[in-house]
Amino acid sequence: MISQDMSSPLEAPVCRRCGMCCLRGGPTLMVEDAPRLVGGVLTLESLVCLRVGEWARDDARGELRPLEKEHIKVAGLGGQAHPWRCRYYRDGSGCAIYAQRPVQCSALFCMDTAPLETLLGSEPLLDRAGALKALGGEAQLPGFPDLNAGTRALLPDLIAAHEEQSLVAPVLEAAARLGFTPRGTQGYGEGMEEGEERQALLGDLGEAVRADAAFRQLCVERAGVPAALLPFLLGRPLQDLLAEVGLRPTSSATEEN
């Protein structure tokens, strides 16, 4: 539990660097963070794109809501206790990149969220196009020295083609119509489909999952995209996003938990 040090009522509370916020999740990146990509402090391999329509916590409203803009986030390490634990957090020693930590980390203070809210309200978020543009002048993509120029030139087109084919929002909206939303959300699962419409929707979701998986496979096998780059390039698979809300598609059909 985080508690304020009350040893002197005249002293303003300060960050104790307990790391709890780092365990709960790494930052999303702002345009101002682009130099950290160019310098190799953050590599694309360490990032994941959260796409429009994905469920994410809106700290200002204190609730989960579908994202209205894409976010680039430091990818979590998985695991039961803290699945979004920042990969740069080290037990015992704290942030491995503290001197060059992302701007949201510098602004975040759990006892006073005003600086972070000001930052989020005044500065633009970094998106995939912005990140690739920032890296455009680099001879090699940091973290991927063997990526050939032809594949690298294809990356923006692959993002665009995937967005055209495999949007997140309609898939998670369809899941919500079937009654599958994250725990603690209200109002998104109303008007649940029944009968034939429900079966049709389940079939559509299974097809969307298959198309997304096939696109990813083509990127790796035909276009030569390193698999480690896919979370940044295409975000998380639709299959994983549906599993998060309790729908587990299979190769032949979509099964409900």
**Which string of DSSP letters, residue by residue, matches 181-202?**
--TT--SSS-S---HHHHHHHH
Spell out the residues 6+ positions from residue 55 whose beta carbon is closer than 8 angstroms to its own: 64, 65, 66, 67, 172, 181, 182, 185, 244, 245
The interface region with ligand SF4, picked from 106-114, 115-123, 165-173, 203-211 by CB under 6 A, is 106-114
Which of 19, 76, 189, 224 touches ligand SF4 by CB under 6 A?
A: 19
Select from 17-25, 155-163, 167-175, 198-206 the region that touches ligand SF4 (CB under 6 A): 17-25
Under rule CB under 6 A, residue 188 binds ligand SF4? no
Q: Count of residues binding ligand SF4 (CB under 6 A)?
A: 22
Nearer to ligand SF4, 21 or 238 (CB): 21
For residue 35, what are its two tokens? Answer: 């130099």
Residue 218 touching ligand SF4 (CB under 6 A): no
Task: Candidates 6, 7, 8, 21: give the one binding ligand SF4 (CB under 6 A).
Answer: 21
| Shortest Å distance, C-beta 104 to ligand SF4 | 7
**Shortest Å, Cβ 74 to ligand SF4:** 6
Per the CB < 8 A criterion, the answer to whether 213 and 166 are in contact is no
155 binds ligand SF4 (CB under 6 A): no
Q: CA 138, CA 39: separation in Å to the nearest integer? A: 10
Place of tokens 């920042």: 86
CA-based R_g, the chain, Å: 20
Beta bridge partners of 71: 50
- Give the C-alpha separation, 54 to 69, whole Å: 9
Which of the ranges 58-66, 93-101, 175-183, 189-197 carries the binding residues for ligand SF4, by CB under 6 A? 93-101
Pick the piece of the chain touching ligand SF4 (CB under 6 A) from 9-17, 50-58, 144-152, 162-170: 9-17
Q: Name 196's Cβ contacts closer than 8 Å, sequence gap at least 6.
A: none
107 binds ligand SF4 (CB under 6 A): no
Contacts with ligand SF4 by CB under 6 A lie at 2, 15-22, 26-27, 86, 88-89, 95, 97, 101-102, 105, 108-110
